[in-house]
Structure 1
Amino acid sequence: MTQPPATPPTVERIDARHRYAIQVDGSTAGFTAYRDRGDRRVFFHTEIDEAYAGQGLASVLVREALDDVRRAGLRAVPVCPYVAKFLKKHEEYADVTDPVTPEILEWLDGQLKR
């Protein structure tokens, strides 16, 4: 089991990299990546470094990202399996969530050049 952080983790949006990053004691512990399509923020990947596993950081990260989406007046689209799972457990974000559609997936593939 890893040691808990000495200070509370912080989350910052890094627009140039299309991600929210979570910092623990000055180090990046993980991120959730997105692309914006109009008023929708499409989340497609979340990861936490193994060194920080088991501390609930992914949940903190996604909650902060979704709170930012709400403050910005955007809608969240959970392509990322972790974000989708989080949203199923946290219905308080249903008002800012849109479903994943084939159109969104095709658009995202083009954005990511997959």
Structure 2
Amino acid sequence: MSESTTPAVVERADAERRYEILVDGQRAGLTAYRDAGVQRVFFHTEIDEAFAGQGLARHLVRQALADVRASGMRIVPVCPYVAKFLKRHDEFADITDPVTPEVLRWLKPQLG
């Protein structure tokens, strides 16, 4: 996987409850969440096929998790990609909570 040479910008889209990564102003991917009190529960991450292989998912998730830290919240990695990222990047371990059956039960109706 190579790093992107195109500038990418990560923005939090509060109304859609997700972080988006933009390349040249075009949405290239997203990581979606729901908030449960002080926990930000990440449940889905995707990068558009046209932007695959550029390291955008890693950049997106790193910036999203940094924003969670800055906001004083905690991370719950239901999304497999976010969970994999956290296993490789322990700098967020201090603000990561485990995925529990209670969290999964809470999340299901949140997603409709």
- Structure 2 length-normalised TM: 0.95
- Can you list the C-alpha shifts for 1:8-66, whole angstroms capped at 9, x where unaligned? 10000001000000000110000000000000000000000000000000000000000
> What is the aligned residue count?
111
- How far 1:5 moved relative to its partner? 4.8
Aligned residue number for residue 105 of structure 1: 104
Matched, 1:35 2:30: no
> Which residue does the alignment assign to 1:95?
94
| Equivalent position of 1:19 in the other structure | 18
CA contact (8 A) 1:31 1:48 kept: yes
Mark the runs of 5 or more structure 2 residues left unpaired by the alignment: none
For residue 99 of structure 1, give the secondary structure of its aligned residue in structure 2: coil
Could you tell me the TM-score, scaled by structure 1's length?
A: 0.94
SS at match of 2:45: strand
Report the Cα distance in structure 2 between the residues aligned to 1:81 and 1:53, rounded to whole angstroms.
Answer: 17
Identity, % of aligned pairs? 69
- Is contact 1:75–1:98 with CA below 8 Å preserved after alignment? yes
Deviations 1:82-104 (A, max 9, x none): 00000000001101100000000
